[in-house]
Amino acid sequence: MTTGTAAGVEELRERMVRELVERGAVVGPMVAAAFRAVPRHRFAPEVPPEEVYGAPEAIFTKRTDDGRAVSSVSAPWLHARMLEAARLAPGMRVLEIGSGGCNAALLAELVGPAGVVTSLDIDPDITGRARQLLDETGYQRVRVRTGDGALPLTDAPVGGWDRIIVTAGSADLPEAWFDQLADGGRLVVPLRFRGLSRTFAFARDGGQLRSDTTIVSGFLAMRGESADAPRVVRLADEDVRLVVDERQPCDEPALRAAFSTARRELWTGVRLTGSEGLLPRLDVWLAGAVAPYGRLRASRTAAERGLVGWVLGTGAAAIWSDSSLAYLALRTAPDHTDPFELGVIAHGPDREHLGLALADEVIRWNATARHQGDPEVRAHRRGDPALPTGVVIDKPSVRLTIG
């Protein structure tokens, strides 16, 4: 049987749903039914159906002239987890920011004929393509609009959107999302902060948003008014870099000089088994506990040359002062009772103090938060008098706290 036949495609789709259920990405029957109904392969017609239904990562559908990807169809597991986190129901009014067609079709299935789905993108080529594919697959009821997702939508429903689903990486939570989210509404958004990228499902709590779901994921960055690239500080040319968000101050020449000095290693005694998935939680927790905070990223060449300790591909939590730098590292546990031990590597004249400060926070996380699940991220409007003390992450439109 060839997968180009209708029967072959149906088999691929059913296999995809079974796998999503098995891995826990699909939980409820409504989301499973939506995935069975939407002809996913029709939204990436240039790609073989086997790849569309089995893709572990996104399928890129548009690139710029210089090869940079600007639009994609997300991997099935990520579509599923975001839809589950949105907690959609029939009759809801949903705004999707970042068009492509496939996710909008899934949303249309979940809210049903009585619901409203509007898909918005800044690129007219992308919205034109989405409109054509949605029409061809029978989802004419999805409204497609061209515009900047960070700005208010003029035809938003009275009372606001029940759900706003963002499918592009955002460096901010624009005021328009606060203003046009209904009371009791939910915002699902891939958010970049402190060099991290996480998809959060936020529930509206009066004038604040509180996260209750965190998904480790990456998205193509938003374009338009809210676009904001991080600063990259090169500590050792292209091999070792410090990613700095939110315009946190750092003295690049001083940190380069510090990184060239001898290292100080401090090991915390905090162990990881390798199967707990705790490092992503620790990364977010540290972002709300220490400042300044960024991500140290290193190439394989840097590790082979001994420039850095054991740093994963997603980078390592890093803090710095005017003249010194410290970052999180791993090593094989010396007594072999657990696979890994967490530690800190520090450079510069203040390396002892800075290294101990980061190590102490890791030990505090292990004692107080290790078994508490994902940290809660709260988004506060500017000027919110209820803003707690502690580390505050300032964005152009909101202030974030983590705890």
Strand 231-236 relative to strand 240-244: parallel, antiparallel, unpaired?
Answer: antiparallel
Query: Residue 143 pairs with which residues in a beta bridge?
Result: 118
Peptide bond into 190 cis (omega under 30): no
Q: Which of 336, 334, 331, 342 is nearest to 278 (CA)?
A: 342
Is 99 catalytic? The answer is no
Non-local (6+) Cβ contacts of 396 within 8 A are 172, 226, 228
φ and ψ at 312, to 5 degrees? -70, 165
Environment class of 351 (CB within 10 Å of its CB; exposed 0-12, middle 13-18, buried 19+): buried
Annotated active-site residue in 72, 74, 119, 170: 74
Q: Which conformational region is residue 397 in: left (phi greater than 0), alpha (psi within -120 to 50 degrees), or beta?
A: alpha
* Secondary structure of 99-158 in HEC code, one letter for each residue: CCCHHHHHHHHHHCCCCEEEEEECCHHHHHHHHHHHHHCCCCCCEEEECCCCCCCCCCCC
Q: Are 89 and 29 in contact (CB under 8 A)?
A: no
Q: How many whole angstroms separate alpha carbon 7 and alpha carbon 10? A: 5
Report d(CA 194, CA 400) in Å as an integer: 11
* Beta pairing partners, 243: 232, 295
Catalytic (active-site) positions: 74
